[in-house]
Amino acid sequence: MYAIIDIETTGGDYDEEGITEIAIYQYDGFKITDQFCSLINPKKQIQPFVKKLTGINEKMLEKAPVFFEVAKRIVEITRNCVIVAHNAAFDYRILRTEFKRLGYVFERETICTINLSKELLPEQKEFSLGKLVNNLGIPFSIRHRAFGDAQATLKLFELLIEKDVKKNIIRGHIKILKNNKASKRFLKIIDKLPSKMGIYYILDAHNKIIYIGKSKNIKQSVTQNLTSSDKKSLIIQNKISQASFSLTGGQLITLLKQQIEIKINRPVLNPSSKYRIYPIGVRIDDTKTYHQIIIEQIKKKIKYLTVFKNKIDAEKAISILAEKFEIELNNSNFSIKEKESPKKYNCKIKKFSKSFLYPFPNFLIIENGRKHGEFTFILIKNYQFRGYGYFELNHQIKTMSQINSRLISMEENNDTKKLIYSYLLKKKYVKLINL
């Protein structure tokens, strides 16, 4: 659980500042679960440059509560949360100073979105909140006010969580439950999960990801893992400390995200982390006079037109396509029947090969997003999968620069190509945008 915070102050000498406004959004990694925003009467003068910057003046604060009147609410909304702020050192220091004046020790873990941005968005040149969200296309209507800055920080944090494909945020800040009764512990774990589509992560007592699953209903799938008696489920029940999740929104991005993150994190309970989803490849051998269709176990550094789960499926699909392109084959070994000139035959093979290309060299596949009003884009550039991202307004993906700023980069492999190609054939996307 996170508490996204922004604070406006009076300005002045170090540790002498007073809070004039505070905004807190409690966030569970998917949605806002609680929020608090209030002007605060600091009982001291506001520096002139701060008045000009924020628009907050002493008259506005005359009837506002003083800090001790909202202190309990701040403690409650941030309890068991990691504080997230843009320049977290400043906001956390100010909060601790105010509580210290009341004789209360306020301690929380913190995440700074400036530091995270420098790590996960290295292509950005400036890291002030205004410049950063502007370059990323994040809506930011009211600047230098706590509620506006906190909302922008939340949107930025959502993007950074997606960019963190190695899940270092989850690993570093997950809260481990320590309950004696397993059933009670499982119920608490399940209760925090959404009944939505996405990826879920099972972590052990060392915060190590031991299993990555995908589901149309995350809560339902984790419940099944924690109540079933198959070998994998029993291991999960014995080792689980916590479950986290990442909502995806669309079917394709769910498949792609799981497949790639398994390869990156290599959880011990995901055997596909060691093997390919589609181990049989189809390629063209153009070294012979008559170009030949080859179906074989995938080899490293070989480029394949498409891949399949087994040889039977591959032979069946290729036979159908060969007939479509009037390519006559000896079915026993997929060699050709030399009944026409090499030039004419190889022309058919070329058309056959092109049938496995994406519909456009550069385009976006648009799916529904993680919440109402949001959409997912999957970027294909130069006939290759480059990654995905989220957007709310069409103008956020009008240019390649805007697309790249929101892009969570991923490398194409044979599996991702097959998943995307199969999905396009089903036409379940919202739309395609030809770039």
- Domain hosting 411: range is 363-434
CA distances from 144 to 41, 187, 297, 389 (A): 17, 41, 59, 27
**189 in a domain, yes or no?**
yes
**pLDDT for position 137:** 83
Place of tokens 């991202």: 389
Q: Are 39 and 61 in contact (CB under 8 A)?
A: yes
Q: Does the residue 337 lie in any domain?
A: yes
Domain count for the chain, please give it: 4
Looking at residues 133-162, what average pLDDT do you find?
87
Residues 344 and 386 in one domain: no
Reply yes or no on whether the pLDDT at 142 is more than 90: no
* CB contact set of 347 (below 8 Å; sequence gap of 6+): none
Assigned token pair, 251: 């079917």
Cα 347 to its chain centre, rounded Å, is 43
Residue that terminates a domain, selected from 270, 298, 321: 270
Contact 276, 263 (CB under 8 A): no
Average pLDDT over all residues of the chain: 87
pLDDT band at 331 (very low <50, low <70, confident <90, very high): low
- Do 22 and 148 lie in one domain? The reply is yes
Answer yes or no: is 216 within a domain: yes
Q: Is the pLDDT of residue 14 over 90?
A: no
pTM above the 0.85 mark? no
In this structure, the answer to whether residues 256 and 300 fall within a common structural domain is no
Are 303 and 249 contained in the same domain?
A: no
259 and 151 in a single domain? The answer is no
Number of H helices, E strands in the chain: 15, 18
Task: Specify whether 21 is located in the same domain as 137.
Answer: yes
Looking at the domain assignment, is residue 256 inside a domain?
yes
Mean predicted confidence (pLDDT) in 380-389:
93
Distances (CA, A) of 194 to 26, 78, 206, 216, 251: 16, 21, 24, 10, 16
* Residue 178, pLDDT score: 33
Q: Is residue 169 part of a domain?
A: no
Q: With cut-offs at 50, 70 and 90, classify the pLDDT of residue 202.
A: very high
74 shares its domain with 102: yes
